Amino acid sequence: MFPKNSITTFGLCLSLGLLAACSGKQEATESAARPHPFGARAYGDITRERLLNADSEPENWLTEGRDFGKSHYSPLDQINRENVSRLGLAWEYRLGTKRGLEATPIVVDGIMYTSGNAGRVYALNAATGEEIWTFDPKSDGQVNRYTCCDEVNRGVAVWEGMVYVASLDGRLFGLDAATGKVVWEVDTLIYKDRAYTSSGAPEVAGDVVVIGNAGADYDARGYISAYDRRTGELKWRFFIVPGDPEKGYEHPEMEMAAKTWGGEWWKTGGGGAPWDGITYDPETNLVYVGTGNGAPWPADIRSPGGGDHLFLASIVALDVDTGEYRWHYQMTPNESWDYDNTQQITVADLVIDGKKRHVVMQASKNGFFYVLDAKTGELISAQNFVPVNWAKGIDMKTGRPIVNPESKYTTERGFVALPSFAGAHSWHPMSYSPITGLVYIPAVNSSYPFVAAYEDDNPMGQKLSISFAKSAEMLRDPKTLRVNEGILLAWDPVQQKEVWRVSHGQGRGGGTLATAGGLVFQGTGGGLQTEGLSVPMHFSAYRADDGTKLWSFAAQTGVLAGPVSYEVDGEQYIAVVAGHRQGGDYYSPNYSRLLVFKLGGTAELPPPIEVPPRRLDPPAPFGTTAELTVGEEKYSRFCSTCHGVDAQSGGMFPDLRYSPTLHSQEAFDAIVLGGALTENGMVSFARAITPEEAQAIRAFVTQRANEAKQREAAATQAAAPAQQGHGASN
């Protein structure tokens, strides 16, 4: 269920550095209701009528995707292809975190509502950035051990004077839009003994607020819940994966789904968690839910002898009033490659074969772009938008993928899959322009070698049943396919073909915004910037018709969230939340901000802070080959999500290669086994890791630290003659 910011492997959070911080509490501020800064208006006054006529008030951005269909398109054109070069920074708002930021703001009548990490909420004057109120749910920092991909939050929902947000630890809040005070709060987690979190934006659908959960990389059983938007009362719940048949079925579809599973899948949960990708369509009165990947990943391990594994990797359409099933379409039956289907679902009217069709569109993580009938789920068309090798195409008669038999990897035979588990497209919003008729996709062309593994029933850690040690071994083979390219892709959904593309090299592109000014806005994520890899971190504007870059802004940090456009007092603004793991370096300065631009903006960011270079000082390598293999496997499973692939930090947490605890097994064990940093969110892993395995992890990290030190020394030695020659010529 990885919301893939970059191609990383997984694990839990072992904060062994001196700056360990799984959770940084940020105090909330509240203000009494104050007069609306833009006249006699109510705060957060979004109604069904206003949203149905969203195009008549283009100055607002009323939902996560602006309109009911989540087009991520703005009808504003004051900023356009002719003058975008004059775009400048209007204001910034600092969010005070090193954690990932992924929210798309909402703007209602000059007030901006957005979220930060873990479910914090900010209400700001959209013209000036003045803070009106903030809210901190005070999420339990220890829940970070159940997060695959940082304590991110993808936004809020606003409706009739209320702001809705989900906290990382699974609570759903209804807040007063004028003050930020809690009106109601509910706990959405029904299995307290399993690993669940919440990171997606809630969806207001009629009289309910719909929210899903994450956890399909652990032991979750996916479900979606709907709560009364006024009171927080549970109205209905739909399960994605059937539970233990002996305990009965919650609704008829679970009995139907159980026939497509085998073995005792319920013991590991089965997965399917709908952590994002929820869209309400008032025309059909359906809510479309994108569902997650299987848990564990290999289908033959989680459910031997099973079939399609409904309703994994699907779009499921439910009646918004009752939660009753209407239809489903499964993109990846028998899913085995972490191809969750939680990507944005866009509703639109397209003219196909001369007829107007009301459709849902999705650029799926599995690499195919799907167009379905919104009312029935009928497959209209599907085509791969990046290279794909797990399937040879889609059979239009059956609607099923033509699966490549070689893609079924085992414990003995790996398979290098296209796309990788990072996906061809993940949570990053795509945009649809009714002017160009194109969809602008933050696409990724990537590969990864999958090898299965039978894991023990460990009470902690992800339950993926993947051998990262064997995958790493395959990656060390120069013959193994290695692809990793971020792409801004303009796609024709009617003709199902590429129109143009912009390559970001090894950097992932962020969410996109299309505007009536003939522009597409997108940021880049930065990725790892250590050991010689440098990827620009910019927020840019491109021509919507051919992809020509017209403007760019150096953001000082990765920009992956979805941009928005709005207007206040006749002036158009472009806004985006910026902040992504600090470019791969945990020790770099904090540049996480809300950036807002306008024509002629003259504000400037402070210059980047100079950070003195860090020095690797590991102890001498130790450990046998067998111990290092164990250390690599355990590190990958329990540590790498927080501390980075192959012991190289992705920026969320300290890089353990620099940790002074490498010099002392006692100090290392005090944290890993003794829980010395529990208050920081780094709990004891004594239930999951033996003392011998802790020593093996330390040996593995020490080995990686020495290898990095050798590379740095070689690079310094190679650069010295060139520098001497340059000095002589002057």
Q: Locate 340 and state its tokens.
A: 């969750």
In whole angstroms, how large is the CA radius of gyration of the chain? 24
Q: Count the helices and strands in the chain (H runs, E runs).
A: 8, 39
Q: Cα(197)–Cα(146) distance, rounded to whole angstroms?
A: 7
Around Cβ 27, how many Cβ atoms within 10 Å?
Answer: 7
Q: Cα(273)–Cα(215) distance, rounded to whole angstroms?
A: 6
Q: Cα(374)–Cα(283) distance, rounded to whole angstroms?
A: 9
Phi, psi of 399 (to 5 degrees): 80, 5
What letters, b where the CB count within 10 A reaches 16 and e where it falls short, cover 600-617?
Answer: ebeeeeeeeeeeeeeebe
Beta bridge partners of 134: 122
Q: Cα(21)–Cα(590) distance, rounded to whole angstroms?
A: 14
Q: Are 490 and 502 in contact, with CB atoms under 8 Å apart?
A: no
Hey, is 59 helix, strand or coil?
A: coil
Q: Cα(55)–Cα(192) distance, rounded to whole angstroms?
A: 43
Give the total residue count for the chain.
730
Q: Which residues, 6+ apart, have CB-to-CB distance to 243 below 8 Å?
A: 221, 249, 250, 254, 266
Q: Are 152 and 109 in contact, with CB atoms under 8 Å apart?
A: no
- Residue 145 DSSP class: G
Q: Which residues, 6+ apart, have CB-to-CB distance to 82 below 8 Å?
A: none
Around Cβ 402, how many Cβ atoms within 10 Å?
Answer: 10
Beta bridge partners of 189: none
Q: Name the burial class of residue 404, with classes exposed (0-12), middle (13-18) and buried (19+) by CB atoms within 10 angstroms of its CB.
A: middle
Q: Which residues, 6+ apart, have CB-to-CB distance to 185 below 8 Å?
A: 171, 172, 173, 174, 232
Q: Quick one: three-class SS letters along 101-123?
A: CCCCCEEECCEEEEECHHHCEEE
Q: For residue 729, what are the CA distances in angstroms to 518, 543, 717, 724?
A: 49, 44, 20, 9
Q: Which of 276, 338, 655, 669 is catalytic?
A: 338
Q: Cα(270)–Cα(458) distance, rounded to whole angstroms?
A: 16
Angle formed by the axes of helices 691-729 and 625-638, to 10°? 90
Which residue in this structure is represented by tokens 């990846």?
Answer: 332
Strands annotated E in 126-259: 131-135, 157-159, 162-166, 171-176, 182-187, 203-205, 208-212, 223-228, 234-239
Give the residue among 404, 408, 389 at the shortest CA–CA distance from 301.
408
Hey, is 183 helix, strand or coil?
A: strand
Q: Which helix (H) or strand (E) holds 93?
A: strand 87-94
- Residue 302 DSSP class: H
Q: Which residues, 6+ apart, have CB-to-CB distance to 572 below 8 Å?
A: 76, 78, 79, 565, 566, 598, 599
Q: How far apart are the first and last CA of the chain?
A: 55
Q: Is 338 a catalytic residue?
A: yes
Give the residue among 688, 647, 658 at the shortest CA–CA distance from 8.
647
Q: Cα(414)–Cα(298) distance, rounded to whole angstroms?
A: 12
Catalytic (active-site) positions: 338
